[in-house]
Amino acid sequence: MSSYPQPPLLSASTRTESTFEEIPIINLEGAHAGSTARRKLADEIRDACINVGFFYVKNHGIPQEVISNAVAAAKRFFALPQSAKDALDIHKSANFKGYTALLGENTNPKNRGDLHEGFDIGWEDFSGETRLDDGAMTGENVWSDDLPGFREAVLAYYHAAVKLGKSLFPLFALALDLPEHFFDDKTTKPAAIMRLLYYPPQTGEVDDRVEGIGAHTDYECFTILWQDDVPALQVLNNDGKWIDAVPIPGTLVVNLGDQFARWTNDVFKSTVHRAVNRSGVERYSMPLFFGSDYDVKLEALPSCVSEDCPPKYEVVTAGEYVKSRLEATYAHSKSEH
C-alpha cells in the first residue's frame, strides 16, 4: 500500500506549469472578517502562490506614518559617512546583522556583486531585548550612536510588518487546506530579518553581471516588501521573461520564499526575482523576510507529496537553511574584513 494519502490534496491537481504576465493585487480588508470572507481571501492567495509566487497587498494595515518614518531613517543612515557605516559592517557581527557595503553581497553567483547598500536587523523589542536562543542564527542587532531616533523608527516598522506577517500565516494555512492555526507552533519566535536597502542609480554601459540585486529566490517562508516609487523589481515567469513588479502606491509586495517551497514540495512557488535600478534616481526598499522558528524542520507536507511527486528536498532545519544561504551570499566579500 502507498504511504501517501490517496488522492493527495495538493500535489497533482494544483501543480501548474502555466506562466503569468501580471502580479495580482489582493485586498486584505477581509483578513480579520468572518470565515466566508477569509476563505475567499485564502483562495485568492492560493491562486497567487501556485501560479505566480508574488502578489501585492492593499489595505495591509501598516500606517503610512510608520512607513514614512522608517524610510526617512533609512535615508539618514545611508547618508552617513562611509566610515560610520563601515563601523557596523555585517562581517563583524554574529549572524548577519548590520551594514552591507556596495558590492558587498553577491546574490547571483554569476554576477560580480550587487549594486546596493543594506542594513540588516533581526528580532528585538523596543526595550532592547533580543533573543539569545535562535540556535544557528543567534546574534544581536548593531545600531549607530550617530542617529538619534533611527532605532525606534526602524523597529516601529519592523514590528508592524511582523504583525502583518503573523496575520498572513493563517491565510497561507487555509490556502494549503490546513487547519488555520497550523503554523502557530512553528512561528512562536518570529524569525524575521528586515533589511533597509539603498540602490544608487545604475548608469553607463549595461552589464548583465552588475545588478542592484542579482537574480535569486528568498530563503524564508515569505517576504513583505515595501518599495518606493522607483521601478526596479522584476519577477521571472515560467517562460523566462522578466515581469516588472511596478510600484503601486499604497501596496506592499508579498513573495514566497524557499521555506514554503520546501514545505509544499514546490506547490507554492519561490519565484526568482531581481532589482535593476536604471531609473536615473536613487531607490529605497525595505524587505522583511518571515521564516519559521529556526529549529523547525522543513519537511514536505503530506498533502503535497505522492507517488508521482515524491519529496524533492532534503529535510533541514529553517535555521540551517537560512544560515547556509546567507553564508554563500556574503562569501565573496568576507576576506576584505
Ligand X SMILES: O=C(O)CCC(=O)C(=O)O
Residues lying near Fe ion in the complex (CB under 5 A) are found at: 218
Contact 66, 157 (CB under 8 A): yes
Stretch that binds ligand X, among 7-15, 149-157, 227-235, 326-334 (CB under 6 A): 227-235
13 residue type, one letter = S
Give, for 55, the enclosing helix (H) or strand (E): strand 54-58
Stretch that binds ligand X, among 62-70, 125-133, 202-210, 224-232 (CB under 6 A): 224-232
- Grid cell of 277 as nine digits: 535600478
Contact 301, 195 (CB under 8 A): no
The entry of ligand X, Fe ion, none near residue 285 (CB within 5 to 8 angstroms by kind) is ligand X
The entry of ligand X, Fe ion, none near residue 254 (CB within 5 to 8 angstroms by kind) is none
Nearer to ligand X, 176 or 318 (CB): 318
Cis peptide before 7 (omega within 30 of 0): yes
The entry of Fe ion, ligand X, none near residue 227 (CB within 5 to 8 angstroms by kind) is ligand X
Nearer to ligand X, 220 or 303 (CB): 220
The one among 14, 202, 227, 292 contacting ligand X by CB under 6 A: 227
CB of 329 to Fe ion, least distance (A): 11
The separation between CA 26 and the C-alpha centre of its own chain, rounded to angstroms, equals 17
Local structure of 306: helix, strand or coil: coil
Map residues 230-259 to x or -, x wherever contact with ligand X holds by CB under 6 A: --xx--------------------------
The entry of Fe ion, ligand X, none near residue 151 (CB within 5 to 8 angstroms by kind) is none
CB of 29 to ligand X, least distance (A): 25
Residue 322's DSSP bridge partners are none
Distance, in Å, from the CA atom of 26 to the CA atom of 29, rounded to the nearest integer, reads 9
202 contributes a contact to ligand X by CB under 6 A: no
Contact 92, 337 (CB under 8 A): yes
Residues in 138-167 that interact with ligand X by CB under 6 A: none
The separation between CA 236 and the C-alpha centre of its own chain, rounded to angstroms, equals 16
Distance, in Å, from the CA atom of 332 to the CA atom of 337, rounded to the nearest integer, reads 11
Map residues 275-294 to x or -, x wherever contact with ligand X holds by CB under 6 A: x---------x-x-------
Give, for 49, the enclosing helix (H) or strand (E): helix 35-51
CB of 223 to ligand X, least distance (A): 6
Contact 56, 27 (CB under 8 A): no
Question: Using CB under 6 A as the criterion, which residues of the chain lie in contact with ligand X when the complex forms?
Answer: 195, 197, 213, 218, 225, 227, 232-233, 273, 275, 285, 287
